Amino acid sequence: MKPVFHGSFTAQEPIPADAIARAVEVMQSGRLHRYNTVPGETAETALLELEFRDYIGARYCLAVASGGYAMVTALRAVGLRHDEPVLTNAFTLSPVPGAIAGAGGWPVFVETTEDLVIDLEDLARKAADTKARILLLSHMRGHIVDMDALIAVCRAHGVSVIEDCAHTMGAAWNGTKSGRHGLAACYSTQTYKHMNSGEGGFLVSDDAELMARATILSGSYMLYGRHPAGPPAETYRDIRLDTPNCSGRMDNLRAAILRPQLAVLDRNCARWNERYEAVADELRNVPGIRLPHRPAKEQFVASSIQFLVPDFDARAVQDFLARCLDRNVEIKWFGAPEPFAFTSRYESWRYAGEQRLPKTDRVLDQLCDMRLPLTFSLEDCRLIGSIIRESALETRAAIASGTLRGPPVKEVS
């Protein structure tokens, strides 16, 4: 009998006990709204903003209702105009083009390299062609492009960068934290990201006016003075009257859950990377499996793992996925013809209009993806890695002998 994996790919760790205790205190106080404070009190949400600002090293920080909301708000706060083109990765998650559309813009997708980062040649070409002023750069699945090269391309074309750091909270490029390379950066604290408050997000920037607009947009009313991690009061003089309230605040309950998690974020990032190495070790030098190259300057946080299967056509990929699933290893494949669960291809965002990205298509057709929850032990990870390796080798043998199987019998979530 071949060994089978028995864990769950969606089980998260519990919320830490000190976070639960603090959340209970907040609930007992009844003051869940961030502006419902007693004299002299600093709200839990404002304290979290100060701590996250210091962790990232940004000048200002605003906590909001979700990562997607942080992106829409950043785009509005930089003055995106109706129907204006916004460059973004073709390989990303649907809330990214959704944020662009939600802010009234038009997503222009940029090609993806085999190392799963934005293609800088295509970026330069599309920046020139569209005259876009903004790039919403998604560090999808934690893969960080050469940020020095990217910023050089963007400078040359007058493009401002907003970073989507949903998968790079705690990561860095060449010693500089992810989210410190552009004009502003957005983070998510949704359950499947690096901190878990169910839903939630942050926007950070050094730009005082941008952050004043973002704070008013988030629904601060005239209480923006209660944002100690926000810009100085005089920044709001006109902005407070010229900016609409598009309610999307974070509340004190979520902030209470997040503060103790921020204290252990770096430790958890190291735990993700140990898990990544345990799986990746099994996949290195396996014929037909290609792990993306990760340069030394990329200080990544691998809360998931991706690999390409360049020798497999769609039928062979399905045979491979079925063999993994037989042993309870759920691999997501980006080449599936119909979008399902969280992942989707850019073609399924039809509101963006028809766009052709042949290079991204080739990459997605070969791309396999798997989460690495911290509930997996290192032993689990080694077992998963060996199941993937053995399944890939079996599929190769099946191709050679003409005995490929059909698609997997149950669909992966």
By the criterion CB under 6 A, which residues form the site for ligand PLP? 66-68, 92-93, 95-96, 138, 140, 164, 166-167, 188, 190, 201
What is the identity of the amino acid at 227? H
223, 233 in Cβ contact below 8 A? no
Residue nearest to ligand PLP (CB): 67
**Cα 148–chain centre separation:** 20
State the nearest-atom distance from the C-beta of 201 to ligand PLP, in Å: 5
Q: Looking at beta carbons only, is 201 or 335 nearer to ligand PLP?
A: 201
State the nearest-atom distance from the C-beta of 162 to ligand PLP, in Å: 12
State the nearest-atom distance from the C-beta of 248 to ligand PLP, in Å: 10
First to last CA, the chain: 26
Q: Looking at beta carbons only, is 67 or 385 nearer to ligand PLP?
A: 67
What are the distances in angstroms from CA 195 to CA 188, 320, 363? 8, 32, 29
231, 208 in Cβ contact below 8 A? yes
Secondary structure of residue 107 in the 3-state scheme? strand
Query: Cα separation of 280 and 276, whole Å?
Result: 6
State the nearest-atom distance from the C-beta of 250 to ligand PLP, in Å: 11
Classify residue 387 as exposed, middle or buried by CB count within 10 Å of its CB (0-12, 13-18, 19+). Answer: buried
Q: Looking at beta carbons only, is 348 or 377 nearer to ligand PLP?
A: 348
Pairing type for strands 85-89 and 134-138 reads: parallel
Q: Looking at beta carbons only, is 147 or 399 nearer to ligand PLP?
A: 147
Secondary structure of residue 217 in the 3-state scheme? helix
The residues with which 25 forms a beta bridge, in sequence order, are none
State the nearest-atom distance from the C-beta of 346 to ligand PLP, in Å: 13
State the nearest-atom distance from the C-beta of 79 to ligand PLP, in Å: 21
Report the 10 Å Cβ neighbour count for 343. 17
State the nearest-atom distance from the C-beta of 222 to ligand PLP, in Å: 27
Instruction: Tell whether the torsion through CA atoms of 9, 254, 64 and 176 is positive or negative.
Output: negative
Q: Looking at beta carbons only, is 74 or 283 nearer to ligand PLP?
A: 74
Q: Which helix (H) or strand (E) holds 308?
A: strand 304-308
State the nearest-atom distance from the C-beta of 179 to ligand PLP, in Å: 13
For tokens 């997607």, name the residue: 68
Q: Looking at beta carbons only, is 67 or 408 nearer to ligand PLP?
A: 67
Q: Looking at beta carbons only, is 100 or 383 nearer to ligand PLP?
A: 100
State the nearest-atom distance from the C-beta of 305 to ligand PLP, in Å: 15
Q: Looking at beta carbons only, is 68 or 288 nearer to ligand PLP?
A: 68
Q: Looking at beta carbons only, is 52 or 236 nearer to ligand PLP?
A: 52
182, 159 in Cβ contact below 8 A? no
**Cα 93–chain centre separation:** 8
Strands (E), 23-159: 60-64, 85-89, 106-110, 134-138
Classify residue 410 as exposed, middle or buried by CB count within 10 Å of its CB (0-12, 13-18, 19+). Answer: exposed
Q: Looking at beta carbons only, is 188 or 386 nearer to ligand PLP?
A: 188
State the nearest-atom distance from the C-beta of 341 to ligand PLP, in Å: 13
Q: Please state whether 203 falls in left (phi above 0), alpha (psi between -120 and 50) or beta.
A: beta
